[in-house]
Each structure stands twice: as C-alpha cells, then as structure tokens.
Amino acid sequence: MADSIFISLAILCLQLEGAWMRYLPFRAACGPGERACLWRRLGLVSLLMLLSYIYIFYHWGIVAASYKAVLILGWIPHQLVLMLSLPGRLLEHTLVWSMYSLWGFTLHSVSNVAVAHFLMGQAEGVVLTVHSLLFSLWFLLSLPLGRHCFLSLLPAFGFFKGRLVRLYTAWLPFFILLGFLVLIADSRLWHSPEERLSRLLLPVGFVLAYHWLLKAARRLYEQQRLEQQAAIMAQEAAYLEESKRLSESTRLATRSQRENLLATYEELARLIGEDRIEEARRLIARQDEKLSAASLTPYTNYPIINAALSIYLRRAEEAGLQVSQKVNLPADMGTDENELAVLLSNLLENALLAARKTGGRLALVLQHSGSQCVLELTNTAPLPLELGQDGLPRTSRRGHGLGMLSLRNFLSKYEGYADFSQDRGEVTLSMYWEDKPC
C-alpha cells in the first residue's frame, strides 16, 4: 500500500508540473480570479486522481501496464480543467498540449535510458518508481529552457491567421510523436536498446517544430510590418490631402466671410441700436457656425496628428454621434508624430465603425503627464468585446487586424500598456506609454 501511495504521489507531481507548463503560455492573459479558480479546480481534480492512482496500483500492482496507462491517460483531467478555465482558445490549447506532449515524451525517453543503464534486472516496481522520480528530475533541470520555449509559443502562433495553417501548426508536434507513442503502448517493461535510443531523436523533432514555428511567425510578422508601413504612408497621404482640402475650404470660407464682414457688422450695429439684443445674439451664433463649419480644428501643434483628429472627430459628428474630446500634448513631445497619428486614426476608425451602428457617443482623452502619455477612448458598441491572447480585440475583419498590429508594435516600442473593457454597451480603451524618442 505504501508503495502504491508513493508512486501515485510521484506521478501526480509529474502531471501537475506538466499542467503548470501548459498553463504558462496563458498566464499573462489570466486575471487573479481566473488563476484562483483554475488552481482550485486543479487541486480538486488532483485529489480525485491521486485516489484513483492508488486504487489502480494497489489492485493491478506496480507494473508496466498500469504505469503506462496512468502516464498516457492521466494528463486528460488536468487538460480539461485548463481548457474549461481558459475557454475560447481551443487551437492555442491544442498547440501547447501538442508541444508539451513532444517535450514530455523526450524527458520520458531520457529517463528510460537512465533506468535501463543502471537498473536492468531490478524489480519492476523499483524500476517504475525510480523512472517517475527521474522524470520529475529532468523536468526540473530543463525548466529554464522549457519555460523560455513555452512562453514564446502563443505570441508566435498569433501571427498565423489561416485556419488550416493554424490547425496544421497546432497538431504537427503530436503527429511527430504519434509513431513513437504507438510503439510503447504495450505491457512490456523493457524495449530494445535500438528502440530506446531512437526515441532520443525526439529532441530533434521538438527543435525542428519549434524553430519552424518561430521562423514562419517571423516571416509573417515581416510581411505584416511591410503592409503596415504601406498603410502608414497611404494614411499620411490621405491625412495631408484632406488637411489640404479642409484648409482650402477654410481659406475660401474666410475670404467670403471677410467680404461680408462689413455688412454683418453694420447689421449687428443696427440691431443693437434698435435694442434687438436677442436677434443680435442669433446673428453672432450663425456667424460662429459658419466659421467652424469648414475649419480644421487646432487640437494640437502637430499637423498630422491634428489632421487625423479633425478628420475622424468630424466624421463622428457627421454620423450623429455625441463627440467629446480633451487633447493636451506638449510642444516637445518625444513620441513620433507619424506613429501616433496612424495609431489614433486606426483606433478612431474602429471606434467610429462600432459606434455608428447604434448611435451613441465617442469620447477621446489624450493627455501628457510627466514622462507618460495617457489615451482613453470610449465608444458605444452593440456587440460583445472579444479579446485575444494578448488582451487586444480580435476580429476577422480585414484592416482591424492591421490596426491591432499597429497598437501592439506601438506598445512594444514605447513600453506601453493597454486595457480594453466593456460595460453597459460601451467599450473603453485605457492606454499609457513612455513619452520618449525611439
């Protein structure tokens, strides 16, 4: 009984280590509440699994068949807990589990070689118990490398957009492993030396799969970066063109107003002289509307940023939205003007597209505080907000993805932070970044 409890604890510790490694890629996207719920569920499931392992080893004995059955199937409850606690990421879970299967089987094979070298001829229970302990030892020794690899899995996987490509990438490591797994799924304790050594080729498979993933992700990133640069140039040209048009409209309106200014002053003087004050006020209000109708509102001293804000805030007003803004940027801002203008246009365009479907409001706050810039954008949104692994909104609509890529790169470059939230039909982006030249 004591032997059954000991090996059950050893295997459970090993599987909890695996569950932690598979959780690691999702850790950044988990809030404190999600983490607490996840570990409570894992604790409860682990207790039930421990009791079942003790029962299995006590009644079947500590033999190769029971040991392999527990190792091959015992990960399933933990994986189900991870998927239920972190829902909506099926392909991501598949990739992480698939890569960990390859990683874990490699450590299993190294343990096999070690026990075969030192414990050949020993009792089966002793061999299997030592194997489980060596398995955990290799896991701990390889933890720095494993942690590095698994933390970078999902950011690289995020660049794959095609569903078939994502499916292929997620299942590739498991298919590499499958052939070896079929060969050992029997009741034999010892396999031939050639078979044991052949399994040591799995690290090569892991490295190839891992580097293929990163290389393909870098290629996709470079392609999207080039697309982004082209979009930036096109948007800058559009801003300048619309700014030019608005400026020309302002110039023509100003000339027309100047020609009529004397007549307006005479009319205003006549109304005041006749003590018709209310009519005079209405005349002044009409003149103010004419002055602002074709003007390019001077939100900032940066022409491209100013053009972007003027264009999109005016479009929001024309769409019937309730628009409010508070912009206060310093004259010597370190943030690149072009990059901030493109980011603002992407965010405002997405907000405008969402808000105009149901009407409502669009509110922008852009402030400079010390060494930081603060941006808060709120808009009505009829649909639930879906966040991706990196905490940014995800959608299949072409163009929006480019905007989120622009935001992701901006945050990375300026050491920024962005948080999206939704409450009572309104989406709010709160964003902070270091105001520094890069």
Domain boundary pick from 242, 268, 296: 296
Residue ranges in 260-355 assigned as alpha helix (H): 261-273, 277-293, 303-318, 337-355
* 298-303 own/partner pairs: CB under 8 Å, 24+ apart: 299/325, 299/327, 300/327, 300/329, 301/329, 301/331, 302/329, 302/333, 302/337, 302/340, 302/341, 303/243
Phi-psi category of residue 320: left, alpha or beta, with phi > 0 → left and psi -120 to 50 → alpha: left
Is 320 within the bounds of a domain? yes
Is the domain of 29 the same as that of 169?
Answer: yes
3-state DSSP helix/strand/coil % of the chain, to nearest 5: 70, 10, 20
- Residue 398 is predicted with a pLDDT of 47
Contacts of 212 (CB under 8 A, 6+ apart): 172
3-state DSSP call for residue 63? Answer: coil
The 10 Å Cβ neighbour count of residue 364 is 24
pLDDT for the residue 300: 81
| 198 domain-assigned | yes
Domain membership flag for residue 224: no
- 195 in helix, strand or coil? helix
Handedness of CA 302, 371, 345, 227 (dihedral sign): positive
Is 226 a member of any domain? no
201 and 317 assigned to the same domain: no
Instruction: Say if residue 157 is in the same domain as residue 281.
Output: no
| Residues 207 and 282 occupy one common structural domain | no
Local mean pLDDT, 10-residue blocks, the chain (438 residues):
88 91 85 84 92 90 88 89 86 89 85 84 86 89 87 74 78 79 75 73 70 74 69 64 63 63 67 72 69 60 82 86 90 86 86 82 88 90 74 59 72 86 87 84
> What's the domain range around 186?
2-219
Number of domains in the chain: 3
Q: Out of 271, 296, 321, pick the residue that ends a domain.
A: 296
Looking at 296, 312, 343, the residue that finishes a domain is 296
Q: Answer yes or no: are the C-beta atoms of 327 and 366 closer than 8 Å.
A: yes
Note the pLDDT of residue 294: 47
Tell me, yes or no, whether 251 lies in a domain: no
Judge if 302 and 264 occupy the same domain. Answer: no
Does a structural domain hold residue 107? yes
pTM comes to 0.53
- Tell me, what's the pLDDT at 309? 87
* Domain presence at residue 30: yes
